[in-house]
Amino acid sequence: MKRLDGFGSPRIALVGDFILDRYVRGYVERISPEAPVPVLHVVDRESRLGGAGNVAAGVRAFGGAVLCVGVAGKDPQGDELARLLMVAGAETSGLVRLADRPTAVKTRYVGLAQHRHAQQMLRADEEDTAALPAPVQTTLRGALRAHVKGCKLLAVEDYDKGVLTDDSAPQLIADARRAGLPVVVDPATLVTDYRRYRGCTVMTPNRYEASRGSGVCIRDDASLAAAARRLLEAADAEAVVITLDKEGAYLMRRGQAGKRIPHVRPRTVYEVTGAGDEFLAVLAVAVAEGASLEDAAALANVAGGLEVERYGFVPVTRQDARDELLRILGLRGSKVTDRKRLADELANRRRLGQSIVFTNGCFDLLHMGHVRYLRQARELGSCLVVAVNSDDSVRRLKGPGRPVIAAGERAEMLAALECVDYVTVFDEDTPEPLLELLRPDILAKGGTTDVVVGRQIVQGYGGKVLTLELVEGLSTTRIIEKIVEGGRPNADR
């Protein structure tokens, strides 16, 4: 924990295959009369970073700076990819735009079963995977040399799309090592000759990749050790970390015995997209900040575990990792958050098909009536967000003698309740701006509270307003009214 809290913002050079990921989402309610295939009624389209772009986003989310070295087409897709990288905070001066090579695009068609659970139905790839011509490889090598000053580490993300080859990868690695940089590599799935990565510091293949690259079928610790030794020998690397899904990871340094790094709690694996990218990103930041390889691998293991619980690639932040470490220690990470981070968290929950319950209030003198009210509200959905009036807001609503308890303490007391998932403080007189931003599925309000504003906001997207009776000073709560506005629930948005 102390090591994580002490991290700065190291600059990472990132070489690899940058990909534009597109998602087309909709509902599947019938089978086509033309053929026995599902019909996707499209309601949403989204573009995200993919491939090495995931690593760039992961490094930035974890507090590092990143220089991207790779290629994209001189096409609208390349413009979109470059824009997303810049929005993520990545430096794109090393991204070479090519007129005769299209930007790599992966389009995933996603159906929402019963309007809730996202299920990938099909993926369509548009790409040119031929090795880059020698002049372009020379340009990339020059870009890395020109910009490597000030970087603390080189990360290599190989998707075998032509940027990294058996000839070019060792040259890029050698340039970085001569500049004094450690090099961490995430190998491509189908690469079997790990001499491509010779001279690197550490490699991070998964179980399948390690088996293919070593020729050893990994079944137990003995086969893990044999596979790791062969990979280290082939790549002339200092260490290898083999990721093992729910079993954690396996670390071996050259000339030393291997060591297992277990997952410390069971994971609900929703999707494995980007888990290796997240592992590489966090490992790179940790190693660049001087963490031991054991500590860096353990931290990357935690981040990779968080990633597989999310739909699509959603970068893990330092606060995410810190909260998870607190959970591992038997504590609960901070539930009190600002509205920007809260919006990101809730967006991820929606992608998982979860429903969001929102309530708000002063909660100045917390009593059992509040607690029971909040428990009841939590039972209405997958998670409960409690918005607390700031001190100034309470004074405007209740007079100069209030609040009795400061906002920070009120938020902390609410966060201590098991039924509360998130707490945020707002300074406005009404929660209307928060509702507009967060768009909860259910707005739970006390029976004595005016819910007209909430109804008007929720009505626009088909949410529900549930009025719960809260009698001051009494330990009782019951649902007295249920108002359903609009048509479909949140997942239809």
Torsion (CA) 295, 298, 300, 305 in degrees, nearest 10:
-160
Give the largest CA-CA distance in the chain: 78
Q: Do domains 2-328 and 339-492 have the same CATH topology?
A: no
277 is catalytic: yes
Arithmetic mean of pLDDT, 64-76 = 96
Average pLDDT, the chain: 84
Q: Which of 277, 320, 391, 421 is catalytic?
A: 277
391-425 pLDDT per residue, tens: 999 999 889 889 999 999 999 999 888 889 899 99
Residue 308 has pLDDT above 80, yes or no: no
Question: Per the confidence metrics, is the pTM higher than 0.75?
Answer: no
Residue 296 has pLDDT above 60, yes or no: yes
Cα of 139 vs its chain's centroid, Å: 32
Residue recorded with tokens 């070489």 = 15
**What does the alpha-carbon distance between residue 156 and residue 167 come to, in Å, rounded to a whole number?**
14
CATH class (in words) of the domain with range 339-492: alpha beta
Domain assignments of the chain as residue spans, ordered by start: 2-328, 339-492
283-295 pLDDT per residue, tens: 999 999 999 999 9
Arithmetic mean of pLDDT, 52-75 = 95
**Residue 121, phi then psi, degrees to nearest 5:** -100, -35
Residue 444 has pLDDT above 90, yes or no: no
Higher pLDDT, 181 or 276: 181
Structure tokens at 308: 């597989």
Highest mean pLDDT among 225-229, 344-348, 456-460: 225-229
Please give the pLDDT value at position 264.
62
Arithmetic mean of pLDDT, 125-145 = 95
18-41 pLDDT per residue, tens: 999 999 989 888 899 999 999 999
CATH class (in words) of the domain with range 2-328: alpha beta
Instruction: Kindly list the distances between the CA atom of residue 157 and the CA atoms of 51, 175, 199, 276, 348, in Å, as whole numbers in the listed order.
Output: 7, 16, 15, 9, 25
Please give the pLDDT value at position 313.
75
